A and B are shown apart, each in its own frame.
Chain A
Amino acid sequence: MIHSPLMVLIGRRVAAALATLIFVSLAVFAIAQLMEGDVAEAILGQSATPEALAGLRQAMHLDQPAWRRYLEWAGGVLTGDLGHSLITGLPMREMIGARLVNSLTLAGLTALVSVPLALALGIMAAVRRGTAFDRAISIATIGIVSVPEFLIATLAVMLFAVTLRWLPALTSTRDVHSIWDLVRVFALPVFSLACFVMAQMVRMTRAAVIDALDTSYCEAARLKGCSPARVVLRHALPNAIGPIANAIALSLSTLLGGVIVVEIIFNYPGIARLMVDAVATRDLPLVQAVAIIFCTAYLILVTTADVVTILANPRLRHR
């Protein structure tokens, strides 16, 4: 089993992802070195004595060559020791930990809502290709893909929170006492994020199912008298699973960009807002740490997409 071509393919893909991650971390580290002036000066201010600066540089290992600092940083990240924030001086593990859970909750809820809905809409649009329903879906998804993320969130707040007053405009997890509260608090951020993620997923699902429906075996199934539902469920879908799973993983990776904007608009205490604040205060260690978390999540999703595509191809399974 270990030597099956499938395992070799997947192993190769995962190894490539790990290698990419190493290079990405190098790139992030290198970009962070572009900061003009040095970190010790940024902490102590311009009136610091040369002795104090030298002392702090030594304490922070700034006097060491860049490659050693990279190795130390990377080693720290691997063992879960992210170091300390430049601005607050707190250990970053504590700053990031709770917020990471918040962000994952938001992302998880969004995925839970958007994946089934997007699949249903995408498959329906493909089956009823050319109808008014299909065209409406096409226009809506193109529209959503081509507007900025914050427009959707802004419109949603205006409509549901300001005009209709159904939902709160800000997200505060402290007020959650029941399931109903949870739904109310998360409705708007999840809706805005889901719109964005779904648009792409629907388009890609539709294209994958249409590709499958256009094949000669689906034509044959139709000619021998299969019902349309049977053609879609038994003949087209099993062959479209690979591209669809690929579409899901790729669309979920756009969640990472969307989550930044949505956390800002709804004042949601997640990791992306921490990142934006860190960029504004130029807290580079914190920026590096969050960037690596995001890049890892992104690589995991993209690699999953590839692995699923490999797994879903029966030709590779029986060789």
Chain B
Amino acid sequence: MRRATTSGRIGLALVSAWILVALLGPGIAPHGVGEVVHLDVFDGISRRFPLGTDYLGRDMLSRVLYGARYTVLIAFVATSIAAMSGILLGLAAAAGGWIDMALSRAFDIIIAIPSLMLALVVIAATGASIPVLIGTLAIIYTPGAFRTARALAVGVMALDFVAAARARGERLPYIVVREVLPNVTGPLAADFGLRFVFIVLLLSGLSFLGLGVQPPQADLGALVRENIAGLGFGAPAVLFPAVAIASLTIGMNLVIDSLPGRRRR
């Protein structure tokens, strides 16, 4: 394995930090998530409130620590569903035949709808709840995972060792699991990371529009939205949740770029 680059290490540190926050956040938060602890709203950075206070005088650091859990977990579950179904269907389609035709055409339709637009239509019809959000995000990003997995698998299927396995008389499930899958795990992992970034951005965008995670729950995007009135005062309460999202997505991008087998031009 290639030695990790500096940017890759920074990325890994950022992503692991956010995973830790998602797991432990509420445990290390200095104040309760809904606790009004200060009389001044949109207060600046101070020793007592390292990230200032929000529009109700709640501690922003605690709000971010709690909010990150929603962003990271929803995005992770949605990405896992999208990647899993995309890979399964993609591998099935790589064998060709009518399954390939049907799946490719069906996913082409989903791709032809701008992702934010598709999410908005679903949310308008079903209302915004966390299961709906996860399902919608997963459906929107399944076609991309499908295309990547299919393209990779089609490439491997054409190689000699697969022909050899076929000649040995192995059945399709064996070929897919034992011969194809081990040869595409690297690129699939990179694809997973990329899709995670897309999903975090779309989820944050939806919450920012007030159509994602609903109050009293709040993910990082929702934190930006509820404090947007502080923009005029230059309140840190607007800035920090947005910066938190950015550090998560940039960190993930840095990790992906430093993965072995991926070289930037």
Please give the residue numbers on chain A whose beta carbons come within 8 Å of chain B beta carbons, in ascending order.
Answer: 20-21, 23-24, 27-28, 31-36, 138, 142-143, 146-151, 154-155, 157-158, 162-163, 169, 207, 210, 253, 256-257, 260-261, 264-265, 275-276, 278-280, 282-284, 287-288, 291, 294-295, 298-299, 302
Complex Cα gap A31–B193 (Å) = 29
Q: Are B125 and A148 in contact (CB under 8 A)?
A: no
**A154→B112 contact, CB < 8 A:** no
Contact A169-B243, Cβ < 8 Å, known A146-B249, A280-B211: no
Interface on chain B toward A: helix, strand, loop, or mixed SS? helix
Chain B residues whose CB sits within 8 angstroms of the CB of A282 once the complex forms = 124-125, 127
Question: Which chain B positions have C-beta within 8 A of A283?
Answer: 124
Of the residues B113, B122, B201, contact of A24 by C-beta under 8 Å: B113
Residues of B that sit less than 8 Å from A by CB: 108-110, 112-117, 120-127, 197, 201, 204-205, 208-211, 221, 224, 228, 231-234, 238-239, 242-243, 245-246, 249-250, 252-253, 264-265
Q: Give the docked Cα–Cα distance between A280 and B112 (Å).
A: 24
* Cβ contact within 8 Å between A148 and B114: no
B112 touches A150 (CB 8 A): no
Which of B115, B122, B246 meets A147, CB within 8 Å? Answer: B246
State A317–B147 Cα separation when bound (angstroms).
30
A-B interface, 3 closest residue pairs, ranked by CB to CB distance from nearest: A147-B246, A279-B124, A34-B125
Q: Are the C-beta atoms of A148 and B201 separated by less than 8 Å?
A: yes
Q: Is there contact, CB below 8 Å, between A151 and B246?
A: yes
B198 and chain A: residue at smallest CB distance: A146
Q: Which residues of B contact A294 (CB under 8 A)?
A: 114, 117
With contacts A257-B115, A260-B205, A295-B117 known, what are 13 further pairs, Cβ within 8 A? A31-B125, A146-B249, A147-B250, A151-B243, A154-B231, A162-B234, A169-B232, A264-B208, A276-B209, A276-B210, A283-B124, A295-B112, A298-B113
Q: Give chain A residues whose Cβ lies under 8 Å from the Cβ of B239.
A: 154-155, 158
Total A-B pairs, Cβ < 8 A: 143
Cα distance A308–B255 in the bound complex, in angstroms: 35
Nearest-Cβ distance from residue B196 to partner chain A, whole angstroms: 11
| Residues from chain B with Cβ under 8 Å of A23 in the complex | 109, 112
Q: What are 13 residue pairs bridging A and B, where the CB atoms are less than 8 Å apart in the complex?
A: A20-B109, A147-B201, A148-B208, A148-B246, A150-B204, A151-B245, A154-B238, A155-B239, A275-B120, A279-B120, A284-B124, A291-B121, A295-B117
Among candidates A21, A36, A163, A275, residue contacting B234 with C-beta atoms closer than 8 Å: A163
A270 CB to closest chain B CB (Å) equals: 14
Known: A154-B231, A291-B121. Is A27-B126 also a contact (CB below 8 A)? no
**Are the C-beta atoms of B208 and A261 separated by less than 8 Å?**
yes
Interface centre among B121, B209, B234, B238 (most CB of A within 10 A): B121
Give the complex CA separation of A21 and B108 in angstroms: 11
CB distance from A232 to the nearest CB of B (A): 17
Question: Which chain A residue shows the least CB distance to B208?
Answer: A150
Known: A36-B126, A147-B245, A148-B205. A142 touches B253 (CB 8 A): yes
